[in-house]
Structures are given as C-alpha cells and as structure tokens.
C-alpha cells in the first residue's frame, strides 16, 4: 500500500484560465502545454490502517491548513474510486520547484500525488483515466501526466467524464527549450484558483479571452506540427498577454506582474529585434518563462542573467510524463 511517483511541471502555451465547475474542476477553455524536465515533484504515499487521519509532509515540513485540506480531499477521491474510504495515508512530497510562486507546483505536485496514490491503492489506470482524476486536484496537473506537448480537452459533459489531457507530440518531436527566469519565489498573494475565480466572475474582458481561444489553439497546433518556432512563440506570447489582461479587467483589479516582470518581457522583445528568436509566457505569478531554440541557448542565458532583479535562470528541455520509482 505504498508507492512513489515523480512528475514534472508544465508550462501552458495556451492557458487554462477559468472554471465552469469548481467542484469537479471543469475548465471554461481547452489548454495546451509542454512538460518541463527542469522542475518536478517526487511524492510517496503510504496508506496505513493504523492512521486515523492523513498526514502531509512537504519539503520536510508538516503541512496544515488549506494545502493540507486540498491533499486530503484529493486522497478521499482516490479512496472512493478504490472503495477504501477509511484508509488514511502518510504523504511525503519534495518539490524541486518553488511552491505557489507561479512555477506550477500544483501541477507537478498533484500529478505525482495522483500517480503515487492510485498505485498505492492498487488501481491500474490508463493515462487518460489518471489525467481525469488528477484534474480534480489541480486543473493544470492533468497535463503533467504526459511528457512532451499536451492538450487538455475541456470536454462537454457536466460530469467531467470527457475532460482530460492527451499527448499530442512526444518530448522527442522537437527540441524547444524554456528558460525559467526567477524574479521572486515568495508565495503569491492570490492563488491561481482565487485569481481565475475572480476573473470569471467579474472581468470585463473575460468574454474576449474565451472568444480568442479556438483560433489560438488551432494556430498553436499547426505551429507545433510543422515546428514553426516563430508561430508557436508568437501565439504563446499573445495568449499569455490576453490571460493577464483579464486580471486588469476584474473587480477588484489585480495583476501577478512585478516591475521586474515587465523588464524581462521587454528584454525578450528586444532580443527578437537583434535577431534572436525568443518569446515569453507567464503563469499566475511574477516569474517569466522564455521559449528559445537550442542554438541560441548561450546568448539567451547570458542576456537574461544580466537583467537586474533576476535571481536565477533555470534552463529546461521538454520533459517526460509521470514515472514510478
């Protein structure tokens, strides 16, 4: 009744930003991501008949409060699926990624928890079944079950049985790189969950966001299929800006950006003027991810490291899906 799994984070090129059902975590739009080999979570789950409640240890710290409840609620879902409602678990997780800072720790965290938890209870699931369960821990996590290029189909059904991710290309399809530019790894003030909820409920720009998704998705898939880097980069950057624009139209308005975030964005745009193809994307946090090609790695790294306020630049290739240890 024990298993350990490793899952990598992913960065969305077409963002998931909004839920139509908060309980089941059903999104208002489909999204598309690449899995990153540079950031991951390793989680062990041990079910134990002697426990009377779940225990969650993250980075050697016993966790209580909302983060604990999220894990325990998710374990309950797995227990119900396996028909073992009264069996509690000890969860030990290590994030090789900053937690709750916009580096998608919820994606690698819940993908690793889902994989280890279901295996510990003896469930033998397909990747699609596992993705569907994982979705209910954190939406973006359903994409981290797979490596490479991944699409989360929003699905149509209200019970969520058709809302899961699939792999559209493996990690060997195309060597695109991502530089994660760390500006501030403190916990964000507004979680992804709270930020997207406020946006769906109040943003004047939310319908514009939704209207733009079908074409962005179509263009992105075409760009990936033909390995058209300019197209993939331009669509990803524009999609990211549209997502962040919705937060400015919310009540009360908010932004995940810091002043240093804009400095990195401008530097990336200047790189393009100098002939280096590089594009940015940003999740719900101040930190920036820069897409580039292997032949430009040295230049891109140097330029990013020289920007004031940059704490760290981590270079990443496209990574694999979940593995069991």
- Report yes or no: 56 and 19 within 8 Å, Cβ to Cβ: no
| The entry of ligand ADP, Co ion, ligand DP6, none that residue 1 binds, CB within 5 to 8 Å by partner kind | none
* Identified binder of ligand ADP from the candidate list 70, 177, 221, 244, rule CB under 6 A: 70
Does residue 10 interact with ligand ADP by CB under 6 A? no
* Identified binder of ligand ADP from the candidate list 4, 35, 95, 185, rule CB under 6 A: 95
Helix, strand, or coil (residue 220): helix
Which residues face 150 on adjacent strands? 33, 167
Does residue 8 interact with ligand ADP by CB under 6 A? no
Give which of 246, 41, 25 is closest to 131, Cα–Cα: 25
| The entry of Co ion, ligand ADP, ligand DP6, none that residue 109 binds, CB within 5 to 8 Å by partner kind | ligand ADP
Give which of 171, 148, 151 is closest to 163, Cα–Cα: 151
Does residue 192 interact with Co ion by CB under 5 A? yes
Which residues face 167 on adjacent strands? 150
| Binding segment (CB under 6 A) for ligand ADP, from list 63-71, 274-282, 306-314, 317-325 | 63-71
Question: Cβ of residue 283: shortest distance to ligand DP6, in angstroms?
Answer: 4
Number of other residues whose CB lies within 10 A of the CB of residue 201:
11
Which residues face 34 on adjacent strands? 11, 149
Tell me whether strands 31-48 and 55-58 are parallel, antiparallel or unpaired: unpaired
Does residue 67 interact with ligand ADP by CB under 6 A? yes
Helix, strand, or coil (residue 318): strand
Does residue 106 interact with ligand ADP by CB under 6 A? yes
From residue 84 to residue 123, the character string flagging contacts with ligand DP6 as x (rule: CB under 6 A) and all else as - is: --------------------x-x-----------------
Does residue 283 interact with ligand DP6 by CB under 6 A? yes
Does residue 103 interact with ligand ADP by CB under 6 A? yes
CA distance 271 to 63: 42
Size of the site for ligand ADP (CB under 6 A): 24
| Binding segment (CB under 6 A) for ligand DP6, from list 53-61, 136-144, 199-207, 268-276 | 136-144
CA distance 84 to 205: 45
Does residue 171 interact with ligand DP6 by CB under 6 A? no
CA distances from 112 to 45, 139, 143, 250, 253 (A): 10, 14, 12, 33, 34
| Binding segment (CB under 6 A) for ligand ADP, from list 75-83, 102-110, 255-263, 265-273 | 102-110
Residues in the chain: 325
Residues engaged in binding ligand ADP (CB under 6 A): 41, 58, 67, 70-71, 93, 95, 99-107, 109-110, 113, 191-192, 283-285
């Amino acid at each position: 009744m024990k298993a350990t799994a490793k899952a990598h984070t992913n960065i969305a090129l077409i963002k998931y930003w909004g839920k139509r059902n908060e309980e089941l975590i059903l999104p208002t739009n489909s999204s598309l991501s690449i899995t990153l080999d540079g950031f991951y979570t390793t989680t062990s789950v041990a079910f134990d008949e002697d426990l009377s409640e779940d225990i969650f240890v993250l980075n050697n710290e016993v966790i209580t409060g909302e983060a604990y409840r999220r894990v325990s609620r998710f374990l309950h879902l797995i227990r119900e699926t396996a028909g073992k409602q009264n069996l509690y678990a000890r969860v030990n997780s290590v994030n090789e990624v900053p937690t709750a800072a916009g580096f998608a720790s919820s994606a690698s965290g819940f993908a690793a928890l889902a994989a280890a938890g279901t295996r510990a209870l003896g469930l033998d699931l397909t990747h699609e079944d596992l993705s569907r369960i994982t979705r209910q821990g954190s939406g973006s996590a359903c994409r981290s079950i797979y490596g490479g290029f991944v699409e989360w189909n929003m699905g149509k059904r209200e019970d969520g049985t058709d809302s899961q991710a699939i792999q559209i290309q493996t990690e060997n399809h195309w060597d695109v790189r991502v530089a994660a530019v760390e500006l501030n790894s403190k916990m964000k003030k507004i979680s992804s969950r709270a930020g997207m909820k406020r946006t769906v409920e109040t943003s004047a720009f939310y319908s514009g966001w939704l209207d733009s998704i079908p074409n962005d998705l179509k263009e992105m898939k075409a760009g990936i299929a033909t390995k058209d880097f300019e197209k993939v980069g331009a669509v990803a950057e524009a999609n990211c800006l549209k997502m962040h624009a919705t937060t400015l139209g919310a009540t009360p308005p908010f932004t995940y950006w810091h002043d240093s975030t804009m400095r990195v964005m401008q530097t990336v745009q200047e790189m393009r003027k100098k002939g280096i193809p590089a594009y940015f994307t940003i999740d719900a946090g101040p930190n920036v991810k820069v897409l580039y090609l292997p032949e430009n790695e040295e230049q891109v790294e140097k330029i990013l490291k020289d920007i004031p306020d940059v704490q760290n630049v981590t270079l990443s290739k496209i990574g694999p899906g979940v593995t069991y240890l």
